[in-house]
Amino acid sequence: MNYKQPIYILPENTERMLGKDAQRNNILAAKLVADAVKTTLGPKGMDKMLVDAVGDITITNDGVTILEKMEIEHPAAKMMVEISKTQEKEVGDGTTTAVMLAGKLLENAEKLLDMKIHPTIITKGYNIAAEKAKEFLLELSIDINENDKDFLLNNIVTTAMTGKGAEIVKEKFAEIIVNAIQQIEENGSIDIANIKIVKEKSSSIETTELIKGIVIDKERVSIEMPSKVSQAKIALLSESLEIKNIEQAKISISSPDQLQEYMDREELLLRKMVHQIKSSGANVIFCQKGIDDVISYYLAKEKIYACRRVAKSELENLARATGGKIVSNLNDLSTQELGKAEAVEEIKHGDEAMTYVKGCENPKALTILIHGSSEHVMDEVERAIKDGLGDVAAVIKDKKIVAGAGAIEIELSKKLRDFSNSLSGREQLAVQEFAHALEFIPATLAENAGLDPIDILTELKARHDNGEKYAGINIFTNKIENVLEQGIIEPMRTKKQAISSATEVATMILRIDDVLLSKSSAQSNTQGKGYEGLD
């Protein structure tokens, strides 16, 4: 049977890319993403200025922030952005490394594709290499002991912060971050969400401080209340301090005496609430809902400090910091439910006022208060602190570290090359390309520092072949040194997660040989070249 009319199985305005074209296009997109963050790696990495559609400016060298702000549209490139988010969520650092490694794995896979090696063979070889690399990583990691713990944790943070906006005060920040993590640790469990980061435009980043308590963006309800309460006993209320359901009530008043009686009764109920609070011993109140103006007046007369409309998450942080309990019914409020702090104080900076709860005895929620001269500076410092917090938390959980400055990547590469000799199939070539991809990290570190990457890699390989497994690039001296002795160390988990994430996304992209892109008529006119770039 002969058909003269062509058969269409896809909707109109659907683009289709098949076979090699699809693979090459996806690999190119991934490489472009890796190139976008490549220059930010390491102590001498450069920053990016990102300006969005409304003119807001972000200046950073944080990999995940750059990729999120770029508003990438290419589907394969979006997958690269996802691994940076996963790396950030799981470890808090190493996002640039993960993206660069994935990009290099795909670039190297292109060479194998040119050699007519099937993508399935390449992905199998990459998976074998990744599992073996994680085994070697565990062997090469160093267990930390309690005696050296504080020293090593400080070095972890200073390594993470080198090359970021907070580098000039990295020693002070290291102390703040280590103290904060150790304070909130409970039986080896660490929830970084219990460390609140608050930014305040004033002074300079050198005055950034760790507060053993909580800072909330609320002011006292009345200026008649004391601005500072020492030896605070804190009540945390999730109910409102108001006459309930007054709006829905239907009241029939037919004489002035009845009106006065109603007002007196309402005031009596409100005064009773204040009496209950005072009887509990509380001199500070944080209320999740509203506080009646009459109650505010009486609280002020009793010298009780009060804040209203405090977010539920803030109340929970206050409970963890002060040891208090959140009370949903005022009748249940007693001395046992109160939290404690050395001081609760309202502090004004310009027109803005914040409430500081300071000097909590054994807080399980803390605040890092960042000072800075501009929003851009404080945002970048915040990102650096979050990286440091993630690194310290990872080390405390795993108790394992590895040598930084490219040393671990070169050693892993060397071991993978040796391992590849035991393989007989074409997977051997994929394992070798995986090993080659790992060298991209130290090569980029050298390149970003203005050094010759070929010379550095050659010397690094020679030193590692001679058994110097901790030899890495000390960017500050421009020499190959034992970086473990220099205190340039990183969490083992950061490297492990980067290898896992990069391998997963690379193998997924390599297995794609057909791309269908559906567009509306309007989009097809304006975005017909969506695959030619990143956005």
Residue with tokens 């539920």: 312
Active-site choice (40, 62, 159, 208)? 62
**Nearest of 437, 516, 409 to residue 30 by alpha carbon:** 437
Which residues are CB-contacts of 179 (< 8 A; sequence separation ≥ 6)?
210
Q: How far apart are the first and last CA of the chain?
A: 46
**Nearest of 521, 488, 416 to residue 157 by alpha carbon:** 488
Residue with tokens 């490549």: 38
Q: Is 21 a catalytic residue?
A: no
- Determine the Cα–Cα distance for residues 38 and 46; give it in Å rounded to an integer: 9
Tokens of 91: 């470890």
- Determine the Cα–Cα distance for residues 24 and 404; give it in Å rounded to an integer: 33
If DSSP codes are grouped into helix, strand and coil, which group holds residue 5? coil
**Nearest of 121, 103, 99 to residue 112 by alpha carbon:** 121
> Are 29 and 92 spatial neighbours (Cβ–Cβ below 8 Å)?
no
**Nearest of 533, 492, 186, 500 to residue 363 by alpha carbon:** 186
What are phi and psi for residue 483, nearest 5 degrees?
-75, -20
Residue with tokens 């996802």: 82
CA 378 to chain centre: 15
Residue with tokens 């993630």: 390
Q: What single DSSP character describes residue 481?
A: E
For residue 320, what are the CA distances in angstroms to 122, 212, 341, 441?
50, 11, 12, 41
Active-site choice (96, 162, 208, 507)? 96
Q: What angle do CA 117, 122, 123 make, to 5 degrees?
A: 145
**Nearest of 169, 178, 159 to residue 406 by alpha carbon:** 159
What are phi and psi for residue 518, nearest 5 degrees?
-95, 135
Tokens of 328: 């949903």
CA 410 to chain centre: 27
Task: Determine if residue 290 is left, alpha or beta; phi over 0 gives left, psi from -120 to 50 gives alpha, anything else beta.
Answer: beta
Residue with tokens 């949903």: 328
Active-site choice (387, 391, 444, 503)? 387
Residue 188 one-letter amino acid: G
Buried b (16+ CB within 10 A) or exposed e, 217-245: ebbbbbeebbeebeebbbbbbeebbbbee
Q: Is 62 a catalytic residue?
A: yes
Alpha helices in 143-190 (DSSP H): 149-161, 170-184
Active-site choice (40, 58, 65, 95)? 95
Active site positions, annotated: 62, 95-96, 387
